Amino acid sequence: MKKLVIATTAFAAIAALTLAGCSSRGDVATDGASAAAGFAADSTIGVALPDKTSENWVLAGQLFTDGLTEAGFKPDVQYAPANNTVPEQQNQISSMVTNGAKVIIIGAKDGAQLSSQVEAAHDAGATVIAYDRLILNTEAVDYYLAFDNFKVGELQGQALLDGLAAKSPDKKSYNIELFSGSPDDNNAGVFFDGAMSVLQPKIDDGTLVVVSGQTAVAQTATQGWLAQNARSRIDTLLAGNYASADLDGVLSPNDTLARAIIEGVVAAGKPIPVITGQDSEVESVKSIMAGEQYMTIYKDTRALVAQAIVMVQDLQKGDTPEVNDTESYDNGVKVVPSYLLAPLVVTKDTAAEVYKGNDSLEPLTK
């Protein structure tokens, strides 16, 4: 078992798309979380999301509002403000419990600081679904819904290797640097562990050289997933380690950080290295098509939200929601029954096919 505690009208079509997406582990049933006894079809459903640091969180909020309303529920969708995120999210979840929400879907800002609130939700009879980010150290999480985040890291690591080999096939070794996400986001460590499962053997055999020597997740972290923090770190790395050496590649965990790193490299007068990303943000897709950022990961937020609403509908009817993983996501107290969707690699060569049918992204590949 991978222990992934820190050491991501049209609605019917979207729902159909979601049900087709599953992890390579296959569909399994579970007795790990019981279905609710059922509840009224017009019940309140709480959705607590972190601050709007990426396009996908903004999109998710609108999709939840529209999709839950279309399904007949009363959505209570709230974002925690950036300047008081964790305490405000705690307050928002408590308010949802007080207001009688039957299901509370939580995209945690800090999954280690919500145990009291989700336990209160559970005590009140609500079902708790951890959305995109695992909630840690509590029995009171019924389900986890996400893309396969360890797989995301594996795909990023392999793409970095592939990009380096394609760009400089005659080189015997490559200089790289590693970036990870915010330490208060459980996914950051999962992404990094997945990537390092691919990259560490190549570091060990000398194919990859981390010139700074910074290979631990704590050394590579980017607080708050903030672009300015990634820019500051790449500036420091370049000044201290690459005065005469080439930087061939960078593991970046998402698109926002990738663009900040590219800006820093360009400002230093260096060639743009092979650089990874995630989230299929519009500006990064443009960058990929321009031959700058090498790749991103496509995790269709529409499909993830649609699957969350399918789970809510199952619970409303008193049915047990489908899961397809009962082994991988240990939150420190329990293995949380999970439904994982499959992420997709996007490069300049594959973008048109991957984004086909996505009205907001497909035009960028023309």
Tell whether 354 is covered by a domain: no
Distance of alpha carbon 50 from its chain centroid, rounded? 12
CATH of the domain at 60: 3.40.50.2300
120, with CB counted inside 10 A (0-12, 13-18, 19+), is: middle
Residue 335 DSSP symbol: B
Averaged pLDDT for residues 49-71: 90
Same-domain status, 208 and 89: no
Statement to judge: residues 58 and 132 lie in one domain: yes
Count structural domains, the chain: 2
Q: What are phi and psi of 252, to 5 degrees?
A: -110, 135
Whether the model clears a pTM of 0.95, i.e. scores above it, the answer is no
- 86 shares its domain with 16: yes
For position 366, what pLDDT does the model report?
A: 87
Residue 106 and residue 41 share a domain: yes
Residue 110's nearest CA partner among 131, 92, 128, 136 is: 136
The reply to whether 127 and 163 lie within a common domain is: no
Q: Measuring CA to CA, which residue among 270, 196, 258 is closest to residue 222?
A: 258
Q: How many CB atoms lie within 10 A of CB 88?
A: 18
What DSSP string describes 38-52? ---TT-EEEEEE--S
Task: For residue 221, give both structure tokens.
Answer: 């972290």
For 19, the 3-state DSSP assignment is: helix
Q: How many helices (H) and strands (E) does the chain have?
A: 12, 12
Per-residue confidence (pLDDT) for residue 14, from 0 to 100: 38
Do 69 and 179 share a domain, yes or no? no
Same domain, 278 and 168: yes
* pLDDT over threshold 80, residue 1: no
Same domain, 120 and 164: no
Same domain, residue pair 95 and 207? no
pLDDT at 305 over 70: yes
pLDDT tens readout for residues 252-282 = 999 999 999 999 999 999 999 999 999 999 9
Sign of torsion over alpha carbons 154, 3, 122, 80 = negative
The two tokens of residue 79 are 């974002």
What's at 334, amino acid-wise? K
The first and second tokens of residue 311, run together, are 């789970």
- Co-location of 19 and 56 in the same domain: yes
Expressed as residue numbers, the domain containing 241 is: 150-298
307 falls in which pLDDT band (50, 70, 90)? very high
pLDDT at 84: 67
